[in-house]
Structures are given as structure tokens and as C-alpha cells.
Amino acid sequence: MNGIDSWIGYDSSGILAVDGVSIRSLVNEFGSPLFILSKNRLESNYKEFADAFSRRYSSVSFFYSIKTNALPEVCKTLHNLGSCAEAVSSYEICLARKSGFQGKEIVFNGPLKTSDDIEYAFDEGIFAINADSLSEINEIIRLSRGRALSTTIGLRLDPFPEHNSKLGLDFSSAEEAFRQLRSRSLVDKVMIQMHLGTQIADPNLFSEAIIRLCDFLEHSSVYTVDALDVGGGFPSFPILTSTPLSIQDYADSICRTVTTEFEKRKWDLPSLILEPGRVLVSDTMMCVGTVHRVKSKGTDRWAICDIGFHTVPMLMSATYEITSGLLRGSKSRINLGGPLCASSDVLASSIELEDLREGDLVVVLNCGAYSVQFTSRFSFPRPPIIMIDNGKPKMIKTREVSDLTFSTSWG
């Protein structure tokens, strides 16, 4: 097999195959367009990630950021491998619970937690709530009164306030939050969380942030940190080919900095928490579509296919890669347009692909992160999702039916 990746390659007849299953056979069986998920790939991504950190740090746990891809099969697979879940709403806590995560395996983040959300999180006995503002801390304190609390109250700190993000507390608000928690005796466990963004291309950014957090904690006389949650943001490596980095470099930088900074201050080492999203799921999915029309317009050639920006939205720093479903041996440049009646619905301009003909398949690689969550039914129903489990295809989401548009529920 002529491989693009360990799970994707062209078979002897030049047809793209996923975990040994030809995408042409999947389109014949399930129609076009469709999403394909490789369970094997997901499992190996998680094992590689968990191994990189566990080999360098003794107390470490992983909370998969379920907003990245909340398909129940994805969540269940990761849970079976030992992952916990990171949620940012009651809705996501509920999804996590239904996917098998116990309350104590869930951490609750996000800039908006309503009173109902906080009560729900307490009722579910979740592991931790990371407060995002002083107002939220006050509400958490109010709602915790009279409860035997099993949930740790953490703070999301912003180590880089100069970036003007809406997320997290700056250091002076955090000092006030610690005062509030201390005065209510709610700091028997100190948990600090941060999240620096997504597709972070430089592991040293984590080190710099951890050093800033430790300096702040020392300055605020907080000498015991039970849990340090450094968030997510690890890039999808096969796509970031401009850098020769791997997850080992990130694990190295984070674990070394935490150990050095805590030992230097003679503090006990905290439990380390990671909230990976994209790095676990990005390259586990592809979207396969069909070229329906090929046309010339002026000097341009266009292929119009059935995948568009409603199927694979270019959001959250997406880094898709487009390839042909068939090796034809000769290549040419073409514009690849989607089916939407909008001139901006262009998947790629002047891209070199195998000579495309009507009926050929095209593939958008690396759409396991965020895209399935953002896929909309703008003008077209949403495609089915097929999971390949040890070479066997299984439909895990059916193609959306047009009737849903008339439903009174969002479906």
C-alpha cells in the first residue's frame, strides 16, 4: 500500500483505503458524502499521548476535551482507554455521563456556568469546577453552602493577560478569589487550571506559562498546589509538517518545567492534568465526497463536489488536507468548489490533484477535530459517519433526512 499515513494509503489498484477498507466500497454502500472514523487510529493516538506524559511524570491524568469531537463512540473509546472528560456546559457534562464517564471523571471549564449548571455539576459529583471569574467564585461559594462538597473548586488563571483574552482570571482577581475561598474554608484542595489556545506550535509557551503561574503562587503565598491543569492546545502533528516536533517535545517541556519549578521552591509536586482535544482526534477522521461536475470558466478549471464549508467548516484553526480518492498517474491544477450557492464555498484554489473526472472521489483529511461538531445543515442534510473498527465498517450516524427540517426539535 502506498501510504499517506499509517491508516490511510492507496491499494494496488490505486484506490484510497482506510484501515484496509476501500473508500469506493464505503461510498457504494453508504453514499456520498460521508465521514470515516478510524477507531484504531484513535486508540493509538491516545496511547501515544498518555505514554509520553506518564513516562515523564508519576501523577498525571487526561481529561479529553469533548467539545473537540463529542461522538459517543469517540468518547466511549477514550473512556475505555482510561481517559476522563473535560466539559464546558451542562450539555457536555450530560454527554460525558451518557458516554460512560463517572461524575468524578469530569472537569468543568468555560466562561459561562450558570447557577443551574453549577448545581447540576455538584449534583453529579464532578471532580472539579474551574471558576473563570470572581462573580462565578461567589456564586459557587453561595451554592456550595449546606452541601457536603465532593467537587474541587479550581481557578482558571490567565498567565498571559497581555493577550487580552476573555478567558480566565488575571492574577489580582485570582488573589481575591483565594481570599474568598480561604475565608469560607473551601481551599482544602488547590487546583489551578490554564489553557493557552489551540494548535500551539511551540512547547516552550507551556513552560513560560507554568513559570509565570509559579511566580504568582509564590507571591500570593499559595505554597501547596494539589492539581495543576495545563489545559489542551497540542497541535495535530501530521499537518504541522513545517516543525519536526512530536508530542514527546511537549511532554518533555511541561513535565520538566513543573518538576523544576516546584522542586526549586521545595513544594510538593502537584498532580498534573492535561486536557487534550485536537491531538487525539484530528487525524482520526476524513470526509469523502464525489466530484459531480467539472467545468471550465475563462482560464480556470473547476470541480464541483458534494463537500462544502457546511460539511467541513474552516473554524478553530482547522488544518485540512485534500487528496484524491484514486491514483490516475497524471495530475493537474484545479479549483475545488463545494455545493453551496455561495462563491466563498471553495475547498481549495489551484490545487494539484490527480486529473479529476466526474464521478471521482475527493477526500478531506484531518477533520476529526471540531469539524463534525460544527457541521451544519445549511442547504444540505448532514452526512453519515462510518467508524472502521478493526477493518469492519459500522454506521455510527445515519445520513440526516430532509424531513428533519420540518421537525419542531433540532434533531
Ligand X SMILES: Cc1ncc(COP(=O)(O)O)c(C=O)c1O
Which residues form the interface with ligand X (CB under 6 A)?
Answer: 65, 68, 86, 109, 195, 198, 231-234, 275-279, 369
Distance of closest approach, residue 276 Cβ to ligand X, in angstroms = 5
Q: Which is nearer to ligand X, 67 or 382 (CB)?
A: 67
Q: Which is nearer to ligand X, 278 or 382 (CB)?
A: 278
Distance of closest approach, residue 318 Cβ to ligand X, in angstroms = 11
Q: Which is nearer to ligand X, 196 or 351 (CB)?
A: 196
Distance of closest approach, residue 68 Cβ to ligand X, in angstroms = 5
Q: Which is nearer to ligand X, 193 or 290 (CB)?
A: 193
Q: Which is nearer to ligand X, 258 or 288 (CB)?
A: 258
Task: Name the residue number minimizing CB distance to ligand X.
Answer: 277
Q: Which residues pair with 129 in a beta bridge?
A: 108, 153
Q: Which is nearer to ligand X, 28 or 165 (CB)?
A: 165
Distance of closest approach, residue 269 Cβ to ligand X, in angstroms = 22
Residue 104 backbone phi and psi in degrees, to 5: -70, 0
Q: What is the 3-state secondary structure (H, E, C) of the chain?
A: CEECCCCEEECCCCEEEECCEEHHHHHHHHCCCEEEEEHHHHHHHHHHHHHHHHCCCCCEEEEEECCCCCCHHHHHHHHHCCCEEEECCHHHHHHHHHCCCCHHHEEECCCCCCHHHHHHHHHCCCCEEEECCHHHHHHHHHHHCCCCCCCEEEEEECCCHHHCCCCCECHHHHHHHHHHHHHCCCCCCCEEECCCCCCCCCCHHHHHHHHHHHHHHHHCCCCCCCEEECCCCCCCCCCCCCCCCCHHHHHHHHHHHHHHHHHHCCCCCCEEEECCCHHHHHHHEEEEEEEEEEEEECCEEEEEECCCCCCCCCCCCCCCEEEECECCCCEEEEEEECCCCCCCCEEEEEEEEECCCCCCEEEEECCCCCHHHHCCCCCCCCCCEEEEECCEEEEEECCCCHHHHHCCCCC
Q: Which is nearer to ligand X, 69 or 323 (CB)?
A: 69
Q: Which is nearer to ligand X, 32 or 198 (CB)?
A: 198
Distance of closest approach, residue 253 Cβ to ligand X, in angstroms = 15
CA dihedral 213, 216, 218, 224 (to 10 degrees): -50
Q: Whole-angstrom Cα distance, residue 400 to residue 33?
A: 12
Distance of closest approach, residue 65 Cβ to ligand X, in angstroms = 4
Distance of closest approach, residue 278 Cβ to ligand X, in angstroms = 4
Distance of closest approach, residue 358 Cβ to ligand X, in angstroms = 37
Distance of closest approach, residue 317 Cβ to ligand X, in angstroms = 8
Q: Which is nearer to ligand X, 277 or 289 (CB)?
A: 277
